[in-house]
Chains A and B, each alone.
Chain A
Amino acid sequence: MKKYIKKILILFTLIFTSIGGYSSEKVYQLEVLTNDLDRPWSLDFLPNGDILISELTGNLKIFSSEGILSKSLTGLPKVFVKSQGGLSDIAVHPNFIQNKLIFLSFSIDTNQGKTLQVIRAKLEKNSLIDVRVIFTADAYRSTSAHFGARLLFLKDNTLLITSGDGFNHREKAQSLDNHFGKIIRINVDGSIPLDNPFIGKDNSLPGIWTYGHRNQQGLIIDSDGLVFSHEHGPRGGDELNLIQPGKNYGWPSITYGIDYNGSIISPFKTRDGMEQPIKFWTPSIAPSDMTFYNGELFPDWFGSIFISALSPGDVRRIVLKDNVFVSEEILFDEIQSRIRSIKVAPDGSLIMLTDDAKDKNKSGKMIKVIPR
């Protein structure tokens, strides 16, 4: 009997200790900024403190620094909206104050099929003017899936664009004569930078920067100028990669995932000339966006990479040392929703978008993470 009482006491002590530990460990609190979004996909910050928000359904809205959500801006391009297709990423030009330029990625439906397009436009009040198509991916498909569509400015003000494998065209990710499964680098006027790695090579599109990707929806640059990308794997095999120009990231020749029908896509996981991920996830977490934390509000998080995930719906804080994986912490799973996007705000807080795409009665939220 004494033995049992002792065991029960130990158990209670452990439970209370863990509860106490959990609450004291939580260094943040969540604040819902708006819950009136319709499948939000991405966001970016304007110099005046406003936030631009894209909705997959084709809307671009401004959440003002006073906390008011605008109606959709006018002058937007015609967007193909279906399944994973729609208005996707936003990138505000690093010199926005001077040139007022923003960049949008989205899917279009053409006579040749559906593909990814990027435009640039000037933002004047609540409308886009001087809209110019600067990139159309040579990745036409019948599916409405795997567009990639993430945008990122490098320090030389060239623009990186991720282009997914279109699902049915995965083998083309290994060929350089198309934009399936590629990261593309262009100048802001749509021209090709002269130092791109495949310029002048036979059967290669000059805009290609890296290849062998699946569906890359996270793309960041860290304080040292290193570029990281993550991509959805099939069933398992989501990857976080260090991106270097000219490299082959292996899909679908090597992969840590298997196909949705349970079969092997490739029995190979490594090969000379193909890059290994920094980290992979099996089972999949469905990584949707990524940000590099360089803010001051959370000193313990400085230098971490935050990856938003759709499945089961949380954020992964990844710590790297010399580009090698050190640790992973699961955060914000109490939101219990698909986290579609995550960005560091200029004030050092984190801003997240939840999409709740599967439940039409739920609205997408924008949530701010601030210190407790």
Chain B
Amino acid sequence: MLLMKRFIGAGVSFFLSVSFVCIFIISQNTLWNLFWLQSQNFDISFLILFSSLAHDIKGGVSPIILQWGIPISFYTVICITLLLAFIITFLIRLRFPINSKFSYAIAGFTSMYVMMSLIIMKYDGIVLISSARENFGLFVFCFIGLLGGFFFDILISNFLKRGN
């Protein structure tokens, strides 16, 4: 029963942290595009801001990559990336008990960077997320992964405490 509770706790923590990362990365991309338009003297109202955010968060479910003939959405890519990162971190921490917040945060940051690098490599230098084309944007992109890892640790720690 305890194992089941822990498993569910880990699943819910993972789902919430992945959702956090997905929504913030998409929002970063939306804001990036809108800031540029504003710099071109376009009038960006709150209505445009919120409708664009809503559109883009919804749009993230559409396929971005075709791998082995299977269309994969951006959210799925992030989900797989963070799942692998957190599993690897969990396994490393079994051997080396590093501070959990720090280790999951670093895992989030690194995994976002690796994910973007692999996508760029696959598409011959093309960066599919426009906000990550500049160094600062890429840093923010990875930093959101870091916050996601940090958030994941807080959530899973709370679940485990409650489970005990």
Tell me the bound Cα distance from A193 to B33 in angstroms: 36
Q: Which of A248-304 contact B (CB under 8 A)?
A: 253, 258-268, 271
Contact A266 B128 (CB under 8 A): no
Q: Is A167 an interface residue (CB 8 A)?
A: yes
Q: Give the interface residue-count category, chain B.
A: 20 to 34
* Contact among B26, B33, B55, B128 for A260, CB-based, below 8 A: B128
What are the residues of chain A within 8 A of B64 when measuring CB–CB? Answer: 260-262
Question: What does the 1/0 interface line of B25-43 toward A look like (CB < 8 Å)?
Answer: 0100110010011001010
Question: What does the 1/0 interface line of B49-72 toward A look like (CB < 8 Å)?
Answer: 001100110111110100000000
Contact B33 A262 (CB under 8 A): no
Tell me the bound Cα distance from A265 to B133 in angstroms: 14
Contact A144 B55 (CB under 8 A): no
Given A82-B124, A262-B64, A171 contacting B52 (CB threshold 8 A): no
Q: Give the interface residue-count category, chain A.
A: 20 to 34
Contact A258 B33 (CB under 8 A): no
Given A253-B40, A262-B59, A267 contacting B52 (CB threshold 8 A): yes
Residue of A nearest to B33 (CB): A265
* Contact among B36, B60, B124, B125 for A171, CB-based, below 8 A: B36
Contact A142 B125 (CB under 8 A): yes
Q: Is A244 an interface residue (CB 8 A)?
A: no
Question: What does the 1/0 interface line of B64-107 toward A look like (CB < 8 Å)?
Answer: 10000000011000000000000000000000000000000000
Q: Chain A: interface secondary structure?
A: loop
Contact A261 B59 (CB under 8 A): yes
* Contact among A143, A253, A263, A265 for B124, CB-based, below 8 A: A143
* Contact among A83, A171, A263, A268 for B30, CB-based, below 8 A: A263
In the assembled complex, how far is the CB of residue B84 from the closest CB belonging to chain A, in whole angstroms? 20
What are the residues of chain B within 8 A of A74 when measuring CB–CB? Answer: none
What are the residues of chain A within 8 A of B127 when measuring CB–CB? Answer: 168
What are the residues of chain B within 8 A of A142 when measuring CB–CB? Answer: 125
Contact A145 B130 (CB under 8 A): no
In the assembled complex, how far is the CB of residue A253 from the closest CB belonging to chain B, in whole angstroms? 6
Contact A168 B59 (CB under 8 A): no
Residue of B nearest to A262 (CB): B59
Residue of B nearest to A85 (CB): B124
* Contact among B26, B37, B42 for A263, CB-based, below 8 A: B26
Q: Is A338 an interface residue (CB 8 A)?
A: no
Residue of B nearest to A258 (CB): B59
Residue of A nearest to B77 (CB): A261
* Contact among B33, B51, B58, B59 for A266, CB-based, below 8 A: B33
Tell me the bound Cα distance from A62 to B40 in angstroms: 48
Contact B59 A263 (CB under 8 A): yes
What are the residues of chain B within 8 A of A262 when measuring CB–CB? Answer: 56, 58-62, 64, 73-74
Q: Is B126 an interface residue (CB 8 A)?
A: yes
Tell me the bound Cα distance from A268 to B30 in angstroms: 14
List 12 other contacts, CB 8 Å, given A259-B128, A268-B37. Answer: A82-B124, A141-B125, A145-B124, A259-B29, A260-B64, A262-B60, A263-B26, A263-B30, A263-B59, A264-B55, A264-B56, A271-B42
Interface residues in chain B, defined as those with a beta carbon under 8 Å from any beta carbon in chain A = 26, 29-30, 33, 36-37, 40, 42, 48, 51-52, 55-56, 58-62, 64, 73-74, 124-130, 133
By Cβ-Cβ distance, the 8 closest A-B pairs, closest first, are A262-B59, A143-B125, A263-B56, A262-B62, A142-B125, A144-B124, A83-B124, A261-B64
